[in-house]
Amino acid sequence: MLLIHIVIIAMLAAILVSLFSALRFMFRGNSRDLRMVRALTIRVALSLSLFILLMAAFYFGLIPGYSPS
């Protein structure tokens, strides 16, 4: 159960790193450089995989749901 939380936090950190590296490439790079596009593509792929991971973890009971009493 703790492993899924560590994986989620690591993926969030990787998404932020990819986002800020794209920002750095945008400010420093020239217009023909594709590094910013690659960094944003990686960020989108990580975000989608995190969403799928969260849905699967909720479905399999690794992340408990909230039910008001």
Residue 43 belongs to domain spanning: 2-59
Tokens 């159960």 map to which residue? 1
What is the tally of structural domains in the chain?
Answer: 1
Residue 44 lies in a domain: yes
In the three-class reduction of DSSP (H, G, I as helix; E, B as strand; rest coil), residue 16 is classed as helix
Q: Give pLDDT tens digits along the chain (69 positions).
A: 789 999 999 999 999 999 999 999 989 877 777 889 999 999 999 999 999 999 999 999 898 877 776
Residue 23 lies in a domain: yes
Q: How many CA atoms lie within 13 A of 27 on its CB side?
A: 5
Residue 6 lies in a domain: yes
